[in-house]
Structure 1
């Protein structure tokens, strides 16, 4: 059985809806998204938090669509193009501003769905979160145990619920181990290739309304990174883990290829407090 693993990463995509930080006009949203200081931070988090684990995947058979607008300022547009040359798994989708966000996401994803696949494992990769280096391998191999359940409705979610929450403020990086139900990172939705849907069609915080789901809590599988530029910054439903190590430097390095001391220095240099969002850090 062919399980295609297909992800979507939106990098400062300029479009309507789909986000919690709203603006009255496209011009206002463009000014917010393309602010030079913001883009500098976003690229740094993307490069130091998100990319290392993706580049080091133990199963390199996946596709990640990098979705942005055709007018993304330089040098960031060129850097995204360069990534597609370095990593053939990365595909660049330049999508003009569209009012309906789900339509924009499908416009980015649809050309990369394998019609010959038996199942497509859709995942959403935010540009400041991370997945463990064996996420693709596990999401594909674990599906074999869930195949009969998937066949009932041809929809199924798999939630790797154990991860780390990193918070960046002017005092540096704090690390908290958490169990989070259906966090964005390391959440997979398995659909048939002709579904005309992706993971973006199903809000992660109420996934149970749309399909059966399996929770696999054994491995540390994601990093949820909270920083000044988060759209919401909410941690999500879950709880902390008792009796855990005080120092997560080695785990972050081996499971996610994240250099915690380097990230801590960067947070201090940016000197920004938590975002002004109602649920940031909660």
Structure 2
């Protein structure tokens, strides 16, 4: 059974950088362990405006950020000293754990030419036992991510397990995350291994149970549903979900099972106890003014 349809909301991160924000949603804050999802682009800005799109160093706790590009490229730098350019088909998986800061910069104007930049950013909440784990970062290349093809169907497993596919992307709880491309008329069913499952329409349109859904909509299904997805046009989908972790609080870029941990993270960032990236430490995003409780809070500092 279809549980809810989430309509993406517009969020402006910088001049020329508007995103579709899907999660969290007031009526559905998580899908499995996924607690945040942004769809950025296609972005088309003048070369002289590229620097305005940079996401300055900012902190995270209690989650993993997952960056996946359809086009363009982004340079990631973090507290661990990692400097990594992410390109289409790769996965940047950064586990914040006890605390990390990172930046994402757009340093190649040609990567933005003609609206080439398009990316999906998600956050995966960590199980309680891993919320204070040591921060880590890994870049996975396309050849490490299995691809399946069938009549009119192409899919890449980004993380987890689904449809009999597995890879070595390190996760902390049962989940699945797939990039799926369908030709018109192609049909697939949602994987049945996981309790909570969602379909995000990134491009094109699909039909489920006689209704049509288009770009910017996420369909969330309960465990017993076995929907058939039919592509009405060429369609690009992100399929994701997994096992629920329980209640999580989210405030700005901080996620935790404990409200008091959110408060500690605020103080740690304000007092400089979360280290800036050593190769990008001349500027940073200050802590927003706190006008709400940890369950809400200011908008997350995406891209991630």
Which TM-score band applies after superposition, normalised by the shorter structure?
0.3 to 0.5
TM value normalised by structure 1: 0.33
Higher helix share: 1
